[in-house]
Structure 1
Amino acid sequence: MSWRRYVRWIKWPWRWVFDQRERKDYIAQFTSWTIATLIGPRSMVRQTWDGKDNLASARDVAILVTWDMKGRVHDFLIEHMKALKKAGRTVILVSNSPEFPEDEVAKALPHCGLVAWRHNRGYDFGAYRDGVLLVPDYDRLDSLILINDSIYGPFQPLAPLLKKAKAEKADVWGMTDSWDTRWHLQSYFLFFHAAALRNKWVKALWQNWTHVQSKSWIINKLEIGLTGRIEQQGLKCAALFPYRSQVTAFANTVRDNEMLADESLPEPHRRLLERMLELADAGAPMNPCHFFWDQLIVQGFPFMKREVLTANPIGMPRLYEWSDVVGNNSKYDPDLVVRHLRAIAKNRVV
């Protein structure tokens, strides 16, 4: 048997046991979960560096997770740390990168209380958890933000938005929510108030964590499942930019302006609007950060998902106008995004 035929022969059982192809790859998820359980709840942090800011006395902390193939601390990430600091947050930067050169670490230290480099097990959620364990006095925290670098921004100051996320209205806030599979807060930004942080189940979540190396398991159990599990503890979750408001505003705009009948609108744009309206009318969930990215920014939403520009998942027409949308609705420098895209984007002009 040739080696090529041998590879084909073992390919399908390998994929069933170890591959991460979709949300229903249950054998792969179980295998990853079993391995994580055997390893146990230990931290994956390799090394830490003390930053300029005083983490020991911090009561409002933001754990910012980043990944870059070469361990670079890009300018947009530095701007992100500066904005969190201006909003009164002490930043713990956690890098999941395969390498993390000292000169890149040095770029981050002036803007952080702590920089950590870890093995990329458990992906962003694993990094969130390991970052939580690095907080010197968790029980003194008034608030905790979990946020990752899958977003560009913030285009607006964060402090006014965080003030709107009142503890009296909800214990855990997200920027946006999703109805994909079941209702949940989108995990690129999660804001925990003290009541949630001190909840016994939430504290046990951090302490008993196992780093399951399965993206589909993380999507099912954490990105989608975490919100429901939090609310089962009697805690309330809410989004600053709720999906239902976004889809209603979109549908009203399209219908009130008779956009589908506008002959000056390019055909690809009209087809997309028509498809989105069909999904809205059918109650089929859409990812708000993909479908309504421009509408959100106009409303004061402070971020843009990186994958909108790097992959354009829904085939949004005239996406090259993104910098005009950002520039016209904020004081953010779009060149921070352009420089990062030049470093990472392939076969796309954005």
Structure 2
Amino acid sequence: MQNSGYFKFRAFLWHLKQKLPYVRRREYAVMAQRYEQALLAFMAKPSMATDAGFTVVHQRADVAGEATSAGRDLCLFVSYAPQPTVKAHVLHHIQAFRQEGFEVILILNSPHAAETFTLDPALVVACEAICVRENTGLDFAAWAHAVDHFKLGTVELDRVVLANDSIIGPVSQPAFKALVDRVRASKSDVIGLTENWAPRWHLQSFFLVFQREALQRGLFAQAMASIQNLPNKDLVIDVYETHFTLAMKAQGLRCEALFEADPHNLYKANSIYYRWASLMERGFPYLKVSVLAEGQHNPAVRAALPAEMLQAWEREQVKPK
């Protein structure tokens, strides 16, 4: 059994390597591979986000007009549906948005046909529209497709939130209300919950808010109109998530992270993954699904969520026979 001194020494070496002014061979190999993937993807001329199959399975009278008129807040919520159902934590999250006055359009990226889906009546009540989309291009393409389909670039809104199912929560409605109050009080034009400094500074895309300035100047709609169906998650992160914030700043928009990264540890700045407990202590009302999946037997991780939310997630992990 190795003693604690060994692990402390390993930790010291790791932190030292993070501060050295060169790229390690393993990281260089990963970067080179991702560059090659990007080059091949764009040589293949990926399709536009709006070229995917898109079926509206539920819609209120006039989503692009009366239902999203001036003075309203809208959430575009994307969820991956490997089965023709909607995850329990997605319904919970949408209901939390609804309770704070948001209208919600749900886009389900799925390999299943729209007619095979079973929708919870509570979900139908909570959503202005529910759409089933061909599973291509991931979240950015799904958001872009919904913006185009519902002509949201022409609708006067106070703010639009882009959200996805990679976080589970909110852990309580009061915590979520406090978060929404901070968003509504902010003077920034683009707001993220968390920021990441790798490979460049950006707001993380699991929860992005675009306020009136970004919407009225048409910058949000313009950005969405350029989104293509990139073939994998790495490319979507490299091309869209890590560049999106800087592109907004270049247009003169003010960008803000509500939960700033640890300034002393910028080389490991993915706080939602590495420092989830500290974030939640500061009022962050979510747990990353990947943290839950990897730490589902860790008592601290399990205690971070309400029991009924944890149990619902665990039931969904049992694969149908």
The TM-score with structure 2 as length reference comes to: 0.78
Is 1:342 the counterpart of 2:315? The answer is yes
The residue aligned with 1:80 is: 93
Q: 2:193, 2:259 within 8 Å by CA — same for their partners in 1? A: yes
Q: 2:190, 2:214 within 8 Å by CA — same for their partners in 1? A: yes
Computing the radius of gyration from Cα coordinates, the structure with the larger value is 1
Q: 1:76, 1:337 within 8 Å by CA — same for their partners in 2? A: no
The residue matched to 1:103 in structure 2 has which SS? coil
The residue aligned with 2:171 is: 155
Letter in 1 for 2:284: F
Alignment coverage as a number of residue pairs:
280
Residue identity (%): 26
2:54 to 34, 46, 49: 46
The residue aligned with 1:121 is: 136
Q: 2:136, 2:229 within 8 Å by CA — same for their partners in 1? A: yes
**1:36 deviation in Å?**
4.1
Residues 1-350 of structure 1: pairs in structure 2 closer than 5 A: 22-24=30-32, 25-37=34-46, 39-40=47-48, 42-51=50-59, 55=63, 56-57=65-66, 58=68, 59-99=72-112, 100=114, 101-104=116-119, 108-138=123-153, 139-157=155-173, 158-166=176-184, 169-244=187-262, 280=265, 283-312=266-295, 319-326=298-305, 333-344=306-317
Q: Name which of structure 1's ranges 216-225 and 154-163 shifts more when overlaid on structure 2.
A: 154-163
How far apart, in 1, do the equivalents of 2:130 and 2:85 lie?
A: 13
Letter in 2 for 1:180: A
Letter in 2 for 1:287: N
Q: 1:156, 1:300 within 8 Å by CA — same for their partners in 2? A: no
Judged with a 3 Å threshold, the aligned counterparts in structure 2 of structure 1 residues 228 and 322 are, in CA distance, closer, same or farther, namely: same
Judged with a 3 Å threshold, the aligned counterparts in structure 2 of structure 1 residues 207 and 104 are, in CA distance, closer, same or farther, namely: same
How far apart, in 1, do the equivalents of 2:232 and 2:258 lie?
A: 29
Letter in 1 for 2:160: L
How far apart, in 2, do the equivalents of 1:167 and 1:300 lie?
A: 16
The residue matched to 1:234 in structure 2 has which SS? coil
**1:105 deviation in Å?**
6.6
How far apart, in 2, do the equivalents of 1:163 and 1:107 lie?
A: 25
**1:287 deviation in Å?**
1.4
Q: 1:174, 1:191 within 8 Å by CA — same for their partners in 2? A: yes
Q: Alpha-carbon deviations, 1:240-293, whole Å to 9, x = none? A: 11113xx66xxxxxxxxxxxxxxxxxxxxxxxxxxxxxxx3xx42231011221
Judged with a 3 Å threshold, the aligned counterparts in structure 2 of structure 1 residues 221 and 82 are, in CA distance, closer, same or farther, namely: same
How far apart, in 2, do the equivalents of 1:81 and 1:310 lie?
A: 21
How far apart, in 2, do the equivalents of 1:149 and 1:51 lie?
A: 21
Q: 1:53, 1:110 within 8 Å by CA — same for their partners in 2? A: no
The residue aligned with 1:4 is: none
Q: 2:143, 2:224 within 8 Å by CA — same for their partners in 1? A: no
Judged with a 3 Å threshold, the aligned counterparts in structure 2 of structure 1 residues 242 and 53 are, in CA distance, closer, same or farther, namely: farther
Letter in 2 for 1:69: P
The residue matched to 1:337 in structure 2 has which SS? helix
**1:168 deviation in Å?**
5.5
The TM-score with structure 1 as length reference comes to: 0.72
**1:34 deviation in Å?**
3.5
How far apart, in 2, do the equivalents of 1:47 and 1:40 lie?
A: 17
Q: 1:167, 1:193 within 8 Å by CA — same for their partners in 2? A: no
The residue matched to 1:191 in structure 2 has which SS? strand
The residue matched to 1:72 in structure 2 has which SS? coil
Q: 1:143, 1:193 within 8 Å by CA — same for their partners in 2? A: yes
Q: Alpha-carbon deviations, 1:185-234, whole Å to 9, x = none? A: 11100011011123344322222332222322211121211111110000
How far apart, in 2, do the equivalents of 1:343 and 1:102 lie?
A: 16
Q: 1:32, 1:214 within 8 Å by CA — same for their partners in 2? A: no
How far apart, in 1, do the equivalents of 2:188 and 2:252 lie?
A: 11
**1:111 deviation in Å?**
1.2
Unpaired runs of 5+ in structure 1?
A: 1-20, 249-279, 327-332
Judged with a 3 Å threshold, the aligned counterparts in structure 2 of structure 1 residues 242 and 44 are, in CA distance, closer, same or farther, namely: same
Unpaired runs of 5+ in structure 2?
A: 1-28
**1:54 deviation in Å?**
6.3
Judged with a 3 Å threshold, the aligned counterparts in structure 2 of structure 1 residues 187 and 41 are, in CA distance, closer, same or farther, namely: closer
